[in-house]
Structure 1
Amino acid sequence: MRCVPKGKYDAIIVDSSDPVGPAQELVERPFFETIARALRPGGVLCNMAESMWLHTHLIQDMLSICRGIFRGAVHYAWASVPTYPSGVIGFLICSTDGPPVDFKNPINPIEKLDGALNHRRELRVYNS
């Protein structure tokens, strides 16, 4: 990601390992600065952010770092995953400055698009 041109991606999804050992850098300021730089204006990051029941301090630190880097929205979201410790996993969702991103109210909810749930679309991804 360090060599990616500025503003290259619309969205970046980080499904990383737990932030211990070498993966610790995935929850630190330089990592999030690199991600923000790679996103276009209004670009979105979805990053693993651990369980709110087990890692409150880590989540608070990540939110604080991201609020200083991402000039759009910064939120914590979670989903029930019964096989995970505590039964939940969290996500940090952030957007860069630019066209506003409202994570709580999508502009085009897929449920309202006629036939969208049955339509296959081409998806281009980057995987490192």
Structure 2
Amino acid sequence: MDLWYTEKQTPDHGITSKITRTLHHEQTDFQSLDIIETKQFGNMMVLDGMVMTTDQDEFVYHEMLTHVAMNTHPNPKHVLVIGGGDGGVIREVVKYEQVETATLVEIDGQVIEAAKTYFPQIASGLADPRVTVKVEDGIKFIAEHPNQFDVILVDSTEPVGPAVGLFQKPFYEGIHEALKEDGIMVAQTESPWFNRDLIRRVYQDISTLFQYTQLYTASIPTYPSGLWSFTMGSKKYDPLHLHEQENLLDTKYYSRELHRSLYQLPNFVKELTK
């Protein structure tokens, strides 16, 4: 008998994958955590029934959340990642030689441990000596560290449960205060097909705080609708002006040529920024 896992992405739509076995299951203090082995995408992490990452397509999300900001800021030395317990964004951050500190703040320590066991290629950056891992509330951490970071990357789960506060204006205000005077933030902001109201609201909230606000997208097969959005807020640096870092990046999706075209949005997505 074939076994299939289905994520119900909306009340009327889902994505399904053929699986071979369940590798891990536990109920953490915050959520249900499952690791399943799929035929199409390799290992898949699922939190509260929602796909977080897979072996095969993880690089798209992690590269696009990270490198757009890191190549907009001319000298990102101190970087903070909120969420992202799988370590993928940290892996991308530490590719930059000028990074002196990379701090990961993840509320659920079990996600970090599961990633180390079942996604070692994603979690590999956590062993870098520049990395500090904090298992605590990201909102609280932000409030306690003003004017400390050049770049803040918000790698949150969907806006349910413990992640709801990561999509609200007070959190973005805290990020603004935690950034230095020329700091940049990027947050994942869900699907332009299924989360239009959320994207519009987040864009407006961020645009009231930052001199520059920019929405961009990437294609991620296992995320709802396959089209995903990210929203950048920059205090000083125009996202249209790419600061090319000296080191050549080892990337599979992101490139400087792609970066230059990111802000040419389809009209139905562009409407969300008005």
User: TM-score, normalized by length of structure 2?
Assistant: 0.38
Kindly provide the CA deviation profile for residues 17-71 of structure 1, in whole angstroms up to 9, marking residues without a partner as x: 101133211111110011000001120001111011111100000011111122x
1:85 equivalent in alignment to 2:224: yes
Partner of residue 239, structure 2: 103
1:10 equivalent in alignment to 2:150: yes
Q: Which runs of 5+ in 1 are unaligned?
A: 120-128
Q: State how far apart, in whole Å, the 2-side matches of 1:104 and 1:47 are.
A: 18
Q: Which runs of 4+ in 1 moved over 4 A?
A: none
Matches within 5 A, 1:1-128: 1-4=142-145, 6-70=146-210, 72-96=211-235, 100-107=236-243, 109-110=244-245, 113=246, 116-117=247-248
Q: State how far apart, in whole Å, the 1-side matches of 2:158 and 2:164 are.
A: 8
Q: State how far apart, in whole Å, the 2-side matches of 1:30 and 1:68 are.
A: 12
Larger Rg: 2
SS at match of 2:143: coil
Q: Hey, which of these two has a bigger chunk of strand by percent?
A: 2
Aligned-residue offset at 1:118: 6.7
Across the aligned residues of Structure 1 and Structure 2, the Cα RMSD in angstroms comes to 1.7
**Letter in structure 1 aligned against 2:239:** F
Between the two proteins, the alignment pairs up a number of residues equal to 109
Asked which structure has the greater RCO (Cα within 8 Å, sep 6+), the reply is 1
